Amino acid sequence: MASGRPTALIVGASRGLGLGLAAEYLSRGWDVVATVRGSGRTGLHDLQEKVGGGHLDIETVDIAEPEQVAALRQRLSGRTFDLLFVNAGIANDPDETVGNVATDEFVRVMVTNALSPMRVIEAFDDLVTPAGTIGVMSSGLGSVADNEHGGWEVYRASKAALNTLMRSYGARHRKDARALLIIAPGWVRTDMGGPHAMLEINESIPRVVDVITAQSGKPGVRYLNYQGQTVRW
Ligand code: NAP
């Protein structure tokens, strides 16, 4: 990888919003290390072929597997990143309630969406530059205050938990100069967002990157949507 360019580590970039983030940072002149799960070919490999030039490194990690997170941390020792962004996440059946969700499914969503992104941050934060940015992909559905209509009960709870854990991380690192960003990308047409979502990836992600860029160098935790507006906790 060329030196002298800012570098992002984007976790969960095989498709959807994470792939969009990788493409957007590359188009803005960044170097990108981005991750997929497993060994199959993904959209990220297509992107690497398209951009060429050695500016995109592809790594492998399942964030819900602590030994894989530790192994990736080991492989990236000695690297530094201006941005660490954990995008990986899953959704369950939005109609499932706490009345009927299986315990295993509840645990799967919580571990993937709340515990695992924070474990990645705990493992990789020392690779992020002192004035760098650490971000997670949350959701507007993670807002407790805005939950007027219900639905998506378990997913909402997982993103609310992620938000709270990020705030706790910020409280524990209150002397840290890094921006700690919780991003709500809008409802976007991806495998998760579905075909009826309001936004295309290219209507959300460039604005998300604008928001992250505008927050760079501003210490502390913020919960922001893709338009740069504060989301109610
Ligand atoms: P998506 O198309 O389903 O993509 C999810 C991405 O996360 C994939 O790259 C997937 O990898 C990765 N991932 C899932 N579990 C993982 C794990 N255990 N370890 C590593 N990677 C994992 O979803 P998306 O719409 O792009 O969503 C991306 C993020 O935005 C998620 O956190 C989601 O909750 C959030 N979000 C999305 C919307 C929306 O409307 N689309 C709205 C609000 C928030 P694989 O390809 O290997 O499965």
Whether this model's pTM surpasses 0.95: yes
Which atom of ligand 1 approaches the CA of 197 most closely?
A: 40
In angstroms, what is the span from residue 16 Cα to ligand 1's centroid? 7
Between helix 201-215 and helix 16-27 the angle, nearest 10°, is: 60
φ, ψ at 89 (rounded to 5°): -170, 165
Ligand 1, pocket-test mutation among 46, 86, 137, most atoms within 8 A of CB? 137
> Closest Cα to residue 159, out of 221, 89, 62?
89
CA-nearest residue for atom 41, ligand 1, is: 193
In angstroms, what is the span from residue 62 Cα to ligand 1's centroid? 12
φ, ψ at 157 (rounded to 5°): -60, -40
> Closest Cα to residue 138, out of 186, 184, 188, 187?
184
What's the angle, vertex CA 206, arms to CA 121 and CA 47, rounded to 5?
A: 75
Cβ–Cβ < 8 Å for 133, 81: no
Q: Which stretches of 21-80 are assigned E, i.e. beta strand?
A: 31-36, 56-60
| Per-residue confidence (pLDDT) for residue 1, from 0 to 100 | 57
Cβ–Cβ < 8 Å for 170, 120: no
Query: Which residues have C-beta within 8 Å of that of residue 213, sequence separation ≥ 6?
Result: none
pLDDT in tens, the chain (233 residues): 546 899 999 999 999 999 999 999 999 999 999 999 989 999 999 999 999 889 999 999 999 999 999 999 999 999 999 999 999 999 999 999 999 999 999 999 999 999 999 999 999 999 999 999 999 999 999 999 999 999 999 999 999 999 999 999 999 999 999 999 999 999 999 999 999 999 999 999 999 999 999 999 999 999 999 999 999 99
| Per-residue confidence (pLDDT) for residue 2, from 0 to 100 | 47
* Residue 49, both tokens: 């072929």
Query: Domains in the chain, please, with CATH?
Result: 7-225 (3.40.50.720)
149-180 CB burial, b ≥16 within 10 A, e <16: eeebbbbbbbbbbbbebbbebbeebeebebbb
In angstroms, what is the span from residue 222 Cα to ligand 1's centroid? 21
| Per-residue confidence (pLDDT) for residue 53, from 0 to 100 | 80
φ, ψ at 166 (rounded to 5°): -65, -40
Q: Which residues pair with 76 in a beta bridge?
A: none
In angstroms, what is the span from residue 13 Cα to ligand 1's centroid? 8
